[in-house]
Amino acid sequence: MVNNMASPINDFTQRTRLLEERIVDPRSSISIDSLLDSIVALIYDCEGLKKTKNFDGFYGKFQASTREIRDKRVNFDDFEIIKIIGRGAFGTVDLVRRKATGQVYALKTLSKFEMLKRSDSAFFWEERNIMAFSNSDWIVKLHYAFQDAKNDGLVRSDTAVGTPDYISPEILKSQSTTGVYGAEVDWWSVGVFLYEMLLGETPFYAESLVGTYHKIMNHRENLVFPDEIPLSTEARALICAFLSDRSARLGKNGIGEIKAHPFFTNQNDWSWETIRKASVPIVPPLTNDEDTSNFEEIEKSDGPSEESFTATKTFVGNQLSFVGFSFSSEQQPFLDRRSTTNFNNFNNSELEQRLQESERIKSELEIRMRRFHEDLNAKCQDEKVLNSKLYELERKNVVLVTENKEAQRKYELELENRRTFERNLEETQRLLDNERQVKNQMGVTNREWTDKLTSFERQLNESNEKLKIELDSNLRLKKQHQDIQKNCAQLERSYNDMHDKYQELIAIKLKFEKDIITQQANIEQEKTAKYMALDKIQELEEKCNTMTIELSKYKERDASQMNELSDLHQSNVFLEREKLNLQVEIDSLRSKLIEEEIRHQKLQDQFLVEKLKRAGTHNLTDDDLKHDGQEIVRDLERKLDSERLSLKRTTEELIQTQKKARMLEMDLKQIATNYNQLIHDHELSKQCKEQIIEQMESDNQRRTQYDKDLKHMQQQLDISFNKEKHLANELNQMRKENERLNKEIRMMNNEYENIKSKVLDYEEQVEVESKFSVLYRTQMNELKDEINELSDKLRQAISEQKNLEDERDNLSKQLEISNVKLKTESLNLNLLQEQCAELDKEKNIMIIEVEALHTDFNGRLALLDSEINTFRDRYEKCQYDLEQAIKDREAMSNKFKPILDQLHDFERQVSELRKKADDERAKKEAAVKKLQEIVTNPLQNNPFLSRPTGSSRRHDRDRNDRNIARRLEQALEVERMKYKKLQNEKDDELATLSDDITKLKRELETRRDEIDKYKRILETRGSIDNISLISDDLDDDRDRLESWVQIPTRNIRRGGWKRQFAVIAKNKLLLYNSEKDQLAAISIDV
């Protein structure tokens, strides 16, 4: 039966263990991150379905949990953006610093909309899995992956988008057809960036996207290597092997054929196994981890924000595509974090011991942590120094390697030259031997001929002497002639050179004059621009001065407030000390009072017993009994009076302590009011900060106004250019019209000449016909009529000609006026052009200055933005802390209310107990009076103490006396027990009250310390613009407080108080038994 029961239990535990392993495994689809992403995605997608009943219940149940998940997990608020170092099709890459650790990371921000819109080209899941789970040194390690809280709208669509210059042709073919491609597309991209690294640009770059795709599809014709850049044949072959068809592409059959390529062979400096440890030839200079000088300046995009859509009333599941995308490399399995201890199995004493032990271990660990932190800082500084030295050594190593290679190349050249020299030397030696042989043969023949020649030489000597004389004379003449020609040629050359130099000097002089004129103009423009910039700088300096004065005022106000707070704190501490001293005095007085009462009771009992024994053993007379009774009564009355006096004193001291407690409550209220005043001052400082931000915005508006003015000047220049063009067009039209009128005048002149010639012909005919007037009268009349008509026409023509001449004169005048206008306009145009040129120069200078100011302003603005962001974060944290402190204060006030009620109840109970004590005292006084009466009149009041009649009566009387004494002793014991019980109850109540008061005081002190800490944080954050932060050691010395204190033991009434050394440092209260102790006996988080 047991075995049958054990097997399903083991099966169940195995199944639960497998499920836990699946949940803990980050590669699993039901990992912790996937489950958290799923609940967050469902909540975000259900925001539009709040009116549905089921969704509303689900949303209300898990909304707070999702907010807690979002706040507790890694998010954007954990990082501080330093600079944008890259921008792509799906997002940006930023250099960021984690606020908690100061570690520098590269943050890649991807758009969900773009990734799902272009799902065929955005392989974000593959990229995430490769970087998260790979162990290669050559792949970037993924530390965190998280999602933004924005509820972006997501739409699915398929588009062929990617980085155009690196896309392979098979990817482009797969968009139009159902093509398939594999890992060989990555080798195509390797070839593209290898080409870009060696030649400076991508191989298929074009102005448009279509042109780039066209070149990629025709890569065989468009892959060109420029001749001006030297490239080895191995590198060219490697690039061509990568940028080829996918069927013949290098790397298709594995990485082995890439390693075997000649480009990677004959390398003595590294191998494929040691390439990671090899020293690089070029080490980029880096000042620190945040140095971004090797990245291009990328401006912040001013374009429209990311696309999104409104929430729908139906469930779409836009966020479900990203379930499981979150990742954290620092996540530990939650099973390891389970608590292995069950605190219910321990009692309070063991828990207290364990708590004290844990606090002691915690303090030790904190001390070790500080030491380790100091050692770590020292090691970090040493590491920085060593890194800088290592960088210098690597740079020197690279320089020495390059010099060594250069020296080796020179050495090889020298060896080749030496070999060629040795070859030439051997060749010359061989030739020299041949020449020696030939010379020996020639020597033999020469001897034979010398004998023959001696005879001829003698004959020739005489003739030669004569010829020498003539030749010498000729040679002298020729030399003189040649010298003269050389001198002439040299003079001509020097003349030509001097002439050329003279012309060059003249040209240089003219050029210098022009340059001087232009430089003077530029200097004047720069002076004007400089004056304008100086005026602007003065305005900005005045604003800065006013802002610094305001800041100093605010700082003085904060300092005064802090001084007031410190004074209040000191006064509070002084009052608490006085209260503690008074409590100690009260306790000592109470103990004395108890001792005196005990002593009084003992004496009283002793007196009674002795008197009774004396009365029983000796036969005393009535006078003796009366006398003894009176003495006893007097003693009792004296002791009662002393007890009353002591009670009065104790009551007066209690009243004084209550008054002081009320005074302390008033001080507490005053501190609360001061705290509210400080919160009000903080809000005022916040408003001042907002005013400063508004002033900065006004400065930005002025800068935009300057840009608008520049644009307005540019528009005016464009208007002047348009006017100039319009005037030129009008001038051309006037010229064309003038040419047309000149043509018409020429035509009229030709007609006039024709008419004039006709008139002359007619006059000749008239002269001829006048001879034949008689015969031709009839013809003459006709001719006269014709002449009259012609004369009319001629008059008309002359009048028209005059009109035309008038018009021509008017036109000529208008032409002259237009020419004058044109000249003036041309002069004005020249002046405008000169002004435009000057304005262009000024514009260029202003653009350069504005760009410089813009860059400077952007830099300052970026610094201010980063500082403002840090201040905002810190301010939000402080505000959150203040809200928490306010909540805690309200909670404490809520806690104080029942405690104050309890105090009032305790006071009421104390008054009731006093009444009971008075009643008991009255009863005691009545009992004492009765005893006094019995003692004074023993025979009258007690029948058993009557006069003796015999031995039996005496015996009965003694026995009765003993019984009465025993009863009285019992009654006294009962009364003493009651009194002690009441006194103990009263002491216990007072002890509990004092414990509660001390606890409340400690809580108040902790809250005050927290408030002081927040005020110090606000003060340091407010003054961070003008002063640098003081080192942590000085802060520790300043925030460290040391003093001797007295703390109560567990039982104040028995053990009293013990003296310990208190240290307040770094939000902790440490209590030591002595100043020399290194380990704290008690550690309390403040």
CA 189/CA 183 separation, integer angstroms = 11
CA 846/CA 840 separation, integer angstroms = 9
pLDDT band at 158 (very low <50, low <70, confident <90, very high): very low
- Non-local (6+) Cβ contacts of 179 within 8 A are 170, 173
What values do phi and psi take at 1030, rounded to 5? -80, 155
| 148: its two tokens | 């933004």
Q: Is the pLDDT of residue 958 over 80?
A: no
pLDDT band at 946 (very low <50, low <70, confident <90, very high): very low
Q: Taking the CB of residue 46, how many other CB atoms lie within 10 A of it?
A: 19
Q: Is the pLDDT of residue 755 over 70?
A: no
Looking at per-residue confidence, does 447 or 84 come out higher? 84
Of 23-27, 37-41, 339-343, give the range with the top mean pLDDT: 37-41
Of 226-240, 435-449, 549-563, 834-848, give the range with the top mean pLDDT: 226-240
How big, in percent rounded to 5, are the helix, strand and coil portions of the chain? 75, 5, 20
pLDDT band at 307 (very low <50, low <70, confident <90, very high): low
The HSE-up count of residue 391 (CA atoms within 13 Å, CB side) is 11
Backbone φ/ψ region at 266: left (φ over 0), alpha (ψ -120 to 50), beta: left
- CA-wise closest residue to 1003 among 891, 898, 904, 907: 891
What is the per-residue pLDDT for 612? 65
What is the per-residue pLDDT for 135? 72
Could you identify the residue written with the tokens 């001198």?
Answer: 487
Looking at per-residue confidence, does 1020 or 677 come out higher? 677
pLDDT band at 1035 (very low <50, low <70, confident <90, very high): very low
Superfamily of domain 20-75+111-153+318-336: Phosphorylase Kinase; domain 1 (3.30.200.20)
Strand partners, 1060: 1045
Looking at per-residue confidence, does 777 or 203 come out higher? 203
pLDDT band at 241 (very low <50, low <70, confident <90, very high): very high
Looking at per-residue confidence, does 1000 or 840 come out higher? 1000
pLDDT tens digits, residue range 599-655?
767 776 776 667 666 655 555 455 555 566 567 667 766 776 776 777 677 777 767
Q: Is the entire prediction scored with pTM above 0.85?
A: no
What values do phi and psi take at 136, rounded to 5? -85, 145
Q: Is the pLDDT of residue 151 over 50?
A: no
Per-residue pLDDT averaged across 123-132, rounded? Answer: 72
Per-residue pLDDT averaged across 752-766, rounded? Answer: 65
Superfamily of domain 155-286: Transferase(Phosphotransferase) domain 1 (1.10.510.10)
pLDDT band at 239 (very low <50, low <70, confident <90, very high): very high
- Non-local (6+) Cβ contacts of 35 within 8 A are 23
Q: Is the pLDDT of residue 865 over 90?
A: no
What is the per-residue pLDDT for 238? 92
What values do phi and psi take at 959, rounded to 5? -65, -40
Per-residue pLDDT averaged across 824-851, rounded? Answer: 61
Sequence letter at residue 527: K
pLDDT tens digits, residue range 502-515?
677 677 767 767 77
Q: Is the pLDDT of residue 153 over 50?
A: no
Percent of the chain with pLDDT over 90: 2
Q: Is the pLDDT of residue 228 over 80?
A: yes
Looking at per-residue confidence, does 332 or 637 come out higher? 637
CA 497/CA 607 separation, integer angstroms = 151
CA 293/CA 291 separation, integer angstroms = 6
What is the per-residue pLDDT for 903? 63
Cβ distance 128 to 106 under 8 Å? no
What is the per-residue pLDDT for 632? 65
What is the per-residue pLDDT for 838? 61
What is the per-residue pLDDT for 941? 44
What is the per-residue pLDDT for 130? 74
Domain ranges of the chain: 20-75+111-153+318-336, 155-286, 1030-1086
Burial (Cβ within 10 Å: 0-12, 13-18, ≥19) of residue 1086: middle
Going from the C-alpha of 463 to that of each of 185, 459, 469, 748, the distances in angstroms are 98, 7, 10, 103
What is the per-residue pLDDT for 1073? 79
| 248: its two tokens | 């013949």
CA 537/CA 527 separation, integer angstroms = 15
pLDDT tens digits, residue range 835-846?
655 665 555 566
pLDDT band at 1069 (very low <50, low <70, confident <90, very high): confident
Per-residue pLDDT averaged across 526-535, rounded? Answer: 70
Sequence letter at residue 1040: R
Q: Mean of the per-residue pLDDT values for the chain?
A: 70
CA 76/CA 178 separation, integer angstroms = 41
CA 864/CA 428 separation, integer angstroms = 81
Q: Is the pLDDT of residue 861 over 70?
A: no
Strand spans (E) along 529-590? none
Burial (Cβ within 10 Å: 0-12, 13-18, ≥19) of residue 681: middle
pLDDT tens digits, residue range 174-192?
766 555 677 788 899 999 9
Per-residue pLDDT averaged across 238-250, rounded? Answer: 90
pLDDT tens digits, residue range 452-466?
656 656 765 666 676
